[in-house]
């Protein structure tokens, strides 16, 4: 019961900080404002976090945990495999879209070894979740065996880069294009056709159109 209360208070502080950071930015937000939003005393905040920077890091990591949870959502993983890449990417982009005003804060540089290790652990959580999903897909006969660990690292890098550029760098501009191109790349990876084959088809269509016009 005590653990549950501790977890709920800590999560309330993280969620309050997420809201205040999104409205005011990191620099202009105070611990007192976070405490008031969370409905706790300022001293209570310091029971869970040493400073505002540590709260920020937890907000950032909490976002990654929410994204990782998409890979375990029964509504998604039980879909026919051909539908899973689009369902996952759309859900991930939806989470980031909902927190668009907050995403730019995640450009803040890692400032300590402790933060580096925390982000490394979050990245490993993401890649392990993808790896487990791919292994299950192989076990169910939906995919042929392959190096799931390396594919998981590459897929995480691809999606993480797309999200960072779309929301952190460009502020959500071109979101639809980033989303659809990310889906396209992943679907080509698993289902084909390759970009080269697609290019050949486009060339043939272009030649056909030219002949028709002639």
Q: What is the DSSP string of 141-196?
A: TSS----HHHHHHHHHHHHHHHHIIIIIISTTTTHHHHHHHHHHHHHHHHH---HH
The verdict on 202 and 162 lying in the same domain is yes
pLDDT at residue number 2:
47
The verdict on 39 and 70 lying in the same domain is no
**Two structure tokens written together for 137:** 């897909």
The verdict on 82 and 140 lying in the same domain is yes
Mean pLDDT of 55-60: 89
Contact by Cβ (8 Å): 29, 47: no
pLDDT at residue number 147:
96
pLDDT at residue number 103:
81
| Secondary structure (3-state) at 129 | helix
**Two structure tokens written together for 157:** 């890098």
The verdict on 23 and 84 lying in the same domain is no
The verdict on 23 and 83 lying in the same domain is no
Local confidence band at 196 (pLDDT 50, 70, 90 cut-offs): low
The verdict on 141 and 174 lying in the same domain is yes
**Two structure tokens written together for 93:** 């982009």
The verdict on 37 and 70 lying in the same domain is no
From the list 65, 89, 2, the residue with the least C-alpha distance to 57 is 65
CATH of the domain at 21: 1.10.10.60
Q: How many domains does the structure of the chain reveal?
A: 2
12-21, 55-64, 106-115: least confidently modelled range? 106-115
Secondary structure letter of residue 15 according to DSSP: H
The verdict on 42 and 57 lying in the same domain is no
pLDDT at residue number 69:
92
Which residue, 27, 49, 71, sits at the end of a domain?
49
pTM for this prediction? 0.78
Mean pLDDT of 102-124: 78
Per-residue b or e along 42-54, where b marks 16 or more CB atoms closer than 10 Å to that residue's CB: eebbeebbeebee
Listed ranges 17-31, 48-62, 172-186, 199-213; the one with the highest mean pLDDT:
172-186
pLDDT in tens, 71-89: 889 999 899 999 999 999 9
> 176: burial class by Cβ within 10 Å (0-12, 13-18, 19+)?
exposed
Contact by Cβ (8 Å): 56, 34: no
The verdict on 7 and 110 lying in the same domain is no
The verdict on 169 and 195 lying in the same domain is yes
Mean pLDDT of 6-27: 89
The verdict on 167 and 191 lying in the same domain is yes
Spatial CB neighbours of 137, under 8 Å, sequence gap ≥ 6 = 81, 143
- Average pLDDT for the chain: 85
The domain in which residue 72 lies consists of 53-213
In the chain, what's the furthest Cα-to-Cα distance?
Answer: 80
CATH of the domain at 125: 1.10.357.10
Residues 129, 133, 139, 143: what is their CA dihedral angle, to the nearest 10 degrees? -130
The verdict on 107 and 190 lying in the same domain is yes
């Amino acid at each position: 019961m005590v653990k549950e209360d501790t977890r709920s208070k800590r999560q309330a502080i993280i969620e309050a900080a997420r809201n205040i950071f999104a409205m005011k930015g990191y620099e202009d937000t105070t611990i007192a404002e976070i405490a008031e939003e969370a409905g706790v005393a300022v001293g209570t905040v310091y029971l869970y976090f040493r400073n505002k920077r540590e709260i920020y890091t937890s907000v950032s990591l909490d976002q990654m945990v929410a994204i990782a949870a998409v890979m375990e959502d029964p509504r998604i993983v039980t879909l026919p495999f051909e539908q899973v890449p689009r369902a996952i990417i759309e859900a991930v982009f939806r989470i980031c879209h909902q927190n668009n005003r907050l995403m730019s804060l995640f450009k803040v540089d890692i400032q300590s070894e402790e933060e580096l290790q925390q982000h490394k652990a979050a990245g490993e959580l993401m890649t392990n979740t993808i790896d487990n999903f791919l292994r299950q897909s192989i076990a169910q006969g939906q995919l042929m065996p392959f190096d799931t660990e390396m594919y998981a690292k590459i897929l995480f890098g691809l999606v993480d880069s797309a999200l960072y550029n779309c929301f952190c760098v460009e502020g959500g501009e071109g979101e639809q294009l980033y989303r659809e191109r990310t889906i396209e790349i992943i679907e080509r990876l698993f289902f084909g056709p390759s970009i080269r084959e697609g290019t050949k088809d486009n060339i043939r269509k272009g030649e056909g159109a030219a002949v028709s016009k002639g």
